[in-house]
Structure 1
Amino acid sequence: MSVDLLVQKIKEKGNPSVAGLDPKIEYVPEYIRKKAYAEYGQNLKGATEAIWEFNKGLIDALYDVVPAVKPQSAFYEMYGLCGEEVMHRTISYAKEKGLYIILDVKRNDIGSTAEAYSKAYLGKVDIDGVECEPCPVDCVTVNPYLGTDGIQPFVNDCKTFDKAIFALVKTSNPSSGELQDLLVGDEHIYEKVAQCVNKWNEETIGKSGYGAVGAVVGATYPEQAKVLRKLMPKSYFLVPGYGAQGGGAEGVKPCFNEDGLGAIVNSSRGIMCAYKKGDWKEEQFAEAARAEAIRMKNDLTSVL
Structure 2
Amino acid sequence: MTEPFGTRLRARLDKYGPLCVGIDPSPALLHAWGLDDSPAGLERLSRTVADAVGDVAAVVKPQPAFFERWGSRGFAVLESVLADLRQAGPLVVLDARRGDTGPVMAAYAEAYLDQGSPLAADAVTLSPYFGFGALEGAITSAVANDAGVFVLARADGPEGFRDPFAARVLAGVEAANAGRAPLGPVGVVAGGVPASAVPDRLGPDLLDRLDGPVLVPGVGPRGLSPADLARLFPSVRHAVVPAVSGAVLADPTRVRELTLRYRDECAHHLSAP
**TM-score when scaled to structure 2?**
0.86
* Aligned position for 1:230: 208
- Take 1:160 and 1:229, find their aligned partners in 2: how far apart are those partners? 25
> Aligned pair 1:133/2:124, yes or no?
no
* Aligned position for 1:143: 127
* Aligned position for 1:129: none
* Aligned position for 2:188: 215
* Aligned position for 2:21: 19
* Aligned position for 2:102: 111
Inter-CA distance 219–59: structure 2 relative to 1 (3 Å threshold): same
Residue deviations 1:56-107, cap 9 Å, x none?
Answer: 1122111222111100111111222222211111111111111110000111
Residue deviations 1:197-224, cap 9 Å, x none?
Answer: 1112226x24xx2100100113434622
> Aligned pair 1:298/2:264, yes or no?
yes
* Aligned position for 1:74: 65
DSSP-derived class of the 1:266 partner: strand
* Alignment equivalent of 1:246, drawn from 212, 216, 223: 223
How far does residue 257 in structure 1 lie from its aligned partner after superposition?
A: 4.6
DSSP-derived class of the 2:188 partner: strand
How far does residue 32 in structure 1 lie from its aligned partner after superposition?
A: 5.5
Q: Is the 8 A contact 2:6 2:212 kept in 1?
A: no
Q: Is the 8 A contact 1:32 1:54 kept in 2?
A: no
* RMSD, aligned α-carbons: 2.4
2:172 aligned partner, one-letter code = C
> Aligned pair 1:9/2:12, yes or no?
yes
Inter-CA distance 21–256: structure 2 relative to 1 (3 Å threshold): farther
DSSP-derived class of the 2:13 partner: helix
* Alignment equivalent of 1:198, drawn from 169, 174, 178: 174
> Aligned pair 1:160/2:144, yes or no?
yes
Percent identity between the aligned chains? 22
Q: How does 1:90-101 map to 2 (within 5 A)?
A: 90-101=81-92
- Take 2:203 and 2:264, find their aligned partners in 1: how far apart are those partners? 21
Counting matched residue pairs gives 261
Extract structure 1 runs of 4+ deviating beyond 6 A: none
* Aligned position for 1:43: none
Q: How does 1:270-289 map to 2 (within 5 A)?
A: 270-273=247-250, 275=251, 285=252, 287-289=253-255
Structure 1 residue runs without a partner (length 5+): 35-45, 125-131, 183-187, 276-284
* Alignment equivalent of 2:233, drawn from 255, 259, 269: 255
Q: How does 1:24-39 map to 2 (within 5 A)?
A: 24-28=26-30, 33=35
